[in-house]
Every structure is written in structure tokens, then in C-alpha cells.
Structure 1
Amino acid sequence: MARTSRRREAAKLMAKPSVKAGPPLDKLKVNPDDRISKLPNDILLNILDRLDFRDVTRTSVLSRRWSQLPANLSRLKISALSFMPSQTSIPDDELGGTLLRINAVNAANAAVVKATKSMLAHRDPGGCTIRLLSTMFYLSGDAPISIGHTVGNAMATHRVEKAELVVLTEKNGQMCSIDDLANYGTRFVSLFNECHNAFAGLTRLYLENLSFRESDFVSNILVTCKQLSYLGFFNCDTEDWITLQVEHAQLSDLSIVDCCFDMVELTWVPKLTWLAFEMLGSPEEPPLVLGYVPLLGVLRLSTIACKMVKLSSFLHETSVRDLTLGFKCEKIWVQPESLTRRQAHVFQQLRILNLVKIPEGYDLTWTMFFLEAAPSLEELYMMVCS
């Protein structure tokens, strides 16, 4: 009996696998186990913060735990572009394509309204801070005002560190007529007047394809949006060409591209560090005047005018270290000159220089000027227009 018992025990040991067997296959199907789901919430939230909004919503169907994560995101980025169909699905014919695009824009705006309200409704007002609330939408239909009110309410009830609005138009700049620009400008003024609370708390604002009937409306934007750190205008103007005077305590980044003002004067912008400027100006005066901008370090300048200004005089109140001059194959309105020792200090901090589409014949003049004027220059890029 003892010998038989030992044989049975030995048989069991021989039959036992050396590695512990995993759970049955049917259990794996019911309770899938993955390494991502084992990560702590703060790491998962960090991953979700980097995803497109539509991808974030798709993760919420994975499990109850995943469905609760979006309510704690620190960066809410909701864009109408995420809900737009591909360009290939819009017909080429003008009437059919226009109607389909308008319908797509309205549907995308409606999706932005729904998504913004849903994301904010599930958040605890006393919970984690919203580091960035970014909303991109089209200036079409009634949706913009709904979005403006939703963003304004979020600022009033939640802790929002940064808030951004990107206002787009159905037509791009090349397709816009004068009437289109005026129409978009009227729509934006209505949005602005209706949603003052939202604009008052913004830190970033981008506007495109707008024409304002009130010549001082751009100044009203600066006065109302006191928290702005970035302001971008593309293809914007007023009915009467004006001198736009910019005074703002918080503005650090400013972009004015393809706009029509008589002149832009940066009267007092003490925190401005980055400026992109490209617009048509008055032929009698320089289109841009740099007033009190002591921290200006990066300048992208691409403008043609008849009035010529010495570069050292133009930059004398700045700390420019990264300079781009866009010539557009013509003479640019700032020019090199013979420098005195006092004037040369303007270029002491210049490290990076881009000369874009410089006319053939002027490249050597500008190159020699900067090589002599900027002793600390580290990078030089040049594109000659033949």
C-alpha cells in the first residue's frame, strides 16, 4: 500500500506543470487585463490631456473607471475641426459645395456646444483646476453665443487658469468678399457684446476674416480682454483706416497678419516678447511703430512701405535676439545704415537672423551690415529672390 501511494504521488508531481497555469480563456475574455489600465489616474490623465477630444470620448466606453477620467482632465481642448468631414467629401461645384460646407459647419458647432457643456457638467466646481480651456468654433448660426455663455459660466464656477477662444469663419481669407468680411464682423460684435464675461477672462484669442464698422472696436477688445497673453488677427480691418494704438499690461504674444490698418503703434506693451507683423500700411508713414516694448525678443516682420526707416532707430527700444525680415522680393521699409557705437548696442543681443525673399543684389548689403553690427550672431538664414 505504501509503495502504491508513493507511485500515485510521483505521478501527480510529473503531471504538474513547472509554470503556474493562467486563468481559463473564458475568464480572460470577461475580465481583460492590460498594463495601461494598471497605471495610476494621474498618469492616465496626463495621457488623455494630449489626445484629441474625440479620442478622449472614445476611451470613456472602455470601463467605468475610464468613463470617470474625462471629468478630471486639466486641459479641455474642444475644436470644431474635429467634427468636420474630410475635404474630399465636399463636392467641387460651387453651390453644392457651399451648402454642404455650411451644413457641416453648423453640425460641427452644435457638436462643440454639446461637448463643452457635457465636459463641464460632469466636473466638480471645487475639484481640480482647469489648466487650459480651449474652444475652437465657427462664427456661424446661434452656436457661438451658446459657447460664449458656457465658457463664461465655466470661468465663474470653476477654477480656470487659461482660457482660449479660436474664432473661425466658413470661408477662408482668399474666398472672402468685402461683404463676407463685414458680415463676419457684425456676427463677432454680437458675440462679443453678448458674452462679455467670457472675453473678460480670456488669456488667448485668435480672430480671422473680420471687418469692423466701428473704428475703435479693436481697442474695445484690448480694454475688455485684460487677461490676454496672446492676441492674433488674420485678415482683419476696420471700415475706416485707423492708427491702432495698443496698450496692454499682460500681452506677451501679438500676431497681426494680412490686416489693413493705417498704422499699428505699440504704445505701451511692457510684457510683449513675441511679435509677428505683416500688413499693408500707409505709403506715407511706417506701418509699425515700436513704443514701450522693452522685452521684445522675437520679431517677424514682413511688410512693404514707401517710407524708409533706419533699422537701428526702429529697434532701439527692444531686446530683439531673433529677427526675421520678409522682403517679398521688394525693398523692405527698414534699411541698414552706417552705425555709430551708440546705435550698435541695439544689435548686441541678436542671435538668430532670417532674411526671406530678399531681392537679388541686396543680399550682400544686408549680410555685411549684420555681420558687422551683430557680433554675437549665431545663426543666419537667407533666401534670395531672383
Structure 2
Amino acid sequence: MQKNNGDDRISTLPSDILVNILDRLDVREAVRTSILSRRWSQLSCKLSRLIINAQPDGVSSSNISDGDLVRINAAVVEATKSLLTRRYPGEDTISLLSTTFYLRGDAPISIGHAVGSAMMTHKIEEAEFTVLTVKNRLYCTLDDVLNYGTQFVSFFNECLNAFTGLTRLYMENLRFAESDFVSNIFVTCKRLKYLGFLNCDTKKHLTLQVKHAQLSELSMVNCRFYKVELKWLPRLTRTTFTCWMAFEELPLSFGHVPLLEFLNLTNIGLSRNKMVMLSTLLCETHIQELQLGFKCEKIWVQPECLSERLASAFHRLRIVSLVSIPEGSDLTWTIFILEAAPSLEELYMSVCSSYLNPLVPFYMGFSAT
């Protein structure tokens, strides 16, 4: 197993192959190899994929003690600083720098400063922040989300260098006191390809007008904006918009979204909600996959007669998922989708026997012919 000079066979491999192997390991395991020798120590500084996660697999923050959260966040700060400061400026490209951490104490700002400094001295192709809160959505009070929102704004303003270079940003359980702050995210984070909000809103409900040159995926789940107008997103391909509260009209509209392929709309349909006409909503799009979710009380999609506008909106539609249809609903409202979508290949429907019981799904497939 060893050559005459005493080197093991793995260590005799070229450095680029060894770095490729290390990139396939968990970051913690890859860094541990640095104790083997001076050469291995140098190899760990050349990793191209740096994924640093504060959230243990399968563990919710609600199940982590306060002391452990402090310790975990501190470990993320230390790992981020160590992995970035040991690298030689401009020598090796970082293909992915991903950090997941809790919005608590000074840890986010420390991470932001380390990432921002690295962006000035290294080429980083993809940079991601996943910002978690100590409490999950089900346990957050109004004071909690206001406090988290204030902390995030301070973090954002302190670490603009990092945010300007991000390609992916996920945040949760935030309420922003300043109504225009969400717009600032789109303006500042010019490289974003993915942006995800969970349980976020502003203190004063606003109409959010979105323009972004690079964004390809936008997810808004349980967010309470008055209206979201997707004005100009030339690279947007996927949008998820779930759980809105507006009763008079759907708080979502599309402008210039020429590449939009996937749309997920899910809501609890109340008797007060106005029914949505898909031909009006989707008239400027050419989506290929549509998912509609219905959680209780009523179907919120308006059946329509086949029209030129409806045919134009649905002529590329290949996959339709109708999820959580209340038991006993008149399914004739689905006929207009079948009539207007000549390229439909798959139709998935799941029926909910009651709002609290498990779903009973059935599946139907269609060929393009």
C-alpha cells in the first residue's frame, strides 16, 4: 500500500484530483484532512464548494436549546472566517459559498463581513445566505417577527458588500417597519437568481413592484403583501405564491416574464375571496407547468369558456396539478383547462376528504397527441 519513499498512494495523486475528492465530502470532514500533513493543509484551502450549515439535519430550531444555538452560530462564524481567510487571494475560484445561520446576536454580521471581504479578493461564482430564526413560524408572535425584521435590517445595512454579491437568499419570519425595505433587497442584490420569503411582510401593507435582471426563481409563502406586481423579470422561470389574504382580487400580476415556465398558486379559499380568472392572470405568460392548491371551503378558480385569451395562456401547458380539492366539489370547473390546453401531457388531482384528513390522490396522464 505504500511506495518506497513512504508516501501513501492517495497523497501521490495530483492536487486537482484530491481537491475534487474533498469537494465531495462534508466541509467539516474535508477540513479535518488538513491535520494529515502540510500538503493536505494546503489542499483544504483550495476547496471550491464551501457549504456551512448551522441547522442539524432533521432538527428544528425549536428543539435546540438556547445555549446550543449560540454555540452552533459561533461555530458557523468560526468556520466561515477560517475557510475564507486561509485562502490565497485570487488563486482558486469558489464555485459555491453557502452559509446557513440563525438570526441571533452578532453572528450574522460577522458572517456577512467575512463573506463580503472574500468577495473582494476571490472569484465566487455562487453565494448563498439562508437566514433562519430562533422560533419557527408556528410559534412566532407579532413582537417576534418585528424583532427579527429589525435584526435583519441591521444585518443587511452592515453587510452590503456581501448582499450585493449574493446569488441566492432565503429568509423567514420577518416583518419590516419600513415599507420600502423589500424593494431595497431587489435593488441591492443585483446578482440574485433565487429569492425566497417565508412568513414575511411589512408593517404597512404595500404594493411591491418587482424588477430584476437576473432573478430566475421567486418564492413567497405565507407572505402578506397587499399586491405583488412582477413588472420586469426577463429570466424568471419559476414562481411560488401561496396563502394570500386579499378578498377582492388576487394580489399577484405578471408583466414582462417571457421565460416563466412553472407557477404554483396555493391558498385557503374563503367564501369572501373573489374567484380568479386564469386567462386574465396568465395572459402575458407561456407557462408549461401549473400547480393550483385548494385548502378548504371553496375552489377559488373561476370556470371559463374557451376564448382566444385563454387558449393563448394555456397553449404551452404540459403539466397541471390540482391539489387538495375539497371532497364533493363539482369538478366541471376543470373542463376548461382540458379544453384550452392542447399540449397537456399530465393532469394530477388530489382530493381531500376533509380539511384535517389525509389526501386521497389519483393520477391521470395524457400524451401530447
- The TM-score by the shorter chain falls in which range? 0.7 to 0.9
Question: Residue 164 of structure 2 corresponds to which residue in structure 1?
Answer: 200
Structure 1 residues 119, 273: CA separation in 2 closer, same or farther (over 3 Å shift)? same
Corresponding position: 1:123 with 2:87: yes
Question: Residue 47 of structure 1 corresponds to which residue in structure 2?
Answer: 21
Query: Could you tell me whether the CA contact under 8 Å between 1:164 and 1:204 is conserved in 2?
Result: yes
Alignment partners' CA distance in 2, 1:60 and 1:85: 28
List aligned pairs for 1:135-154, cutoff 5 A.
135-154=99-118
From 295, 303, 324, the counterpart of 1:336: 303
From 290, 294, 303, the counterpart of 2:258: 294
In terms of fraction of residues, the more strand-rich structure is: 2
From 37, 41, 47, the counterpart of 1:67: 41
Number of aligned positions between the proteins: 350
Structure 1 residues 85, 219: CA separation in 2 closer, same or farther (over 3 Å shift)? closer
Alignment partners' CA distance in 2, 1:363 and 1:270: 38
From 296, 313, 325, the counterpart of 1:346: 313
Query: Could you tell me whether the CA contact under 8 Å between 1:181 and 1:209 is conserved in 2?
Result: yes
Question: Residue 227 of structure 1 corresponds to which residue in structure 2?
Answer: 191
Question: Residue 318 of structure 1 corresponds to which residue in structure 2?
Answer: 285
Question: Residue 121 of structure 2 corresponds to which residue in structure 1?
Answer: 157
Structure 1 residues 38, 163: CA separation in 2 closer, same or farther (over 3 Å shift)? same
* Identity fraction in percent: 62
Question: Residue 274 of structure 1 corresponds to which residue in structure 2?
Answer: 238
Gaps of 5+ in 1: 1-21, 91-96
Query: Could you tell me whether the CA contact under 8 Å between 1:326 and 1:332 is conserved in 2?
Result: no
Single out whichever of 145-154 and 370-379 deviates more from structure 2.
370-379
Residue aligned with 1:54, SS = helix
User: How far does residue 342 in structure 1 lie from its aligned partner after superposition?
Assistant: 4.6
CA-to-partner distance for each residue in 1:121-153, whole Å, 9 max, x for gaps? 221112121111111111101111111111110
Corresponding position: 1:376 with 2:343: yes
Alignment partners' CA distance in 2, 1:33 and 1:129: 28
Give the residue type in structure 1 aligned to 2:34: S
Query: Could you tell me whether the CA contact under 8 Å between 2:94 and 2:124 is conserved in 1?
Result: yes
Corresponding position: 1:251 with 2:219: no
Alignment partners' CA distance in 2, 1:219 and 1:182: 18
Q: TM-score, normalised by structure 2?
A: 0.88
CA-to-partner distance for each residue in 1:133-192, whole Å, 9 max, x for gaps? 111111101111111111110111111112111111111111111111111111011111
Alignment partners' CA distance in 2, 1:46 and 1:319: 40
CA-to-partner distance for each residue in 1:320-358, whole Å, 9 max, x for gaps? 111110011343433231112453122111111111001
Alignment partners' CA distance in 2, 1:269 and 1:148: 27
In terms of fraction of residues, the more helix-rich structure is: 1
Structure 1 residues 39, 355: CA separation in 2 closer, same or farther (over 3 Å shift)? farther
Query: Could you tell me whether the CA contact under 8 Å between 1:357 and 1:385 is conserved in 2?
Result: yes
Gaps of 5+ in 2: 354-369
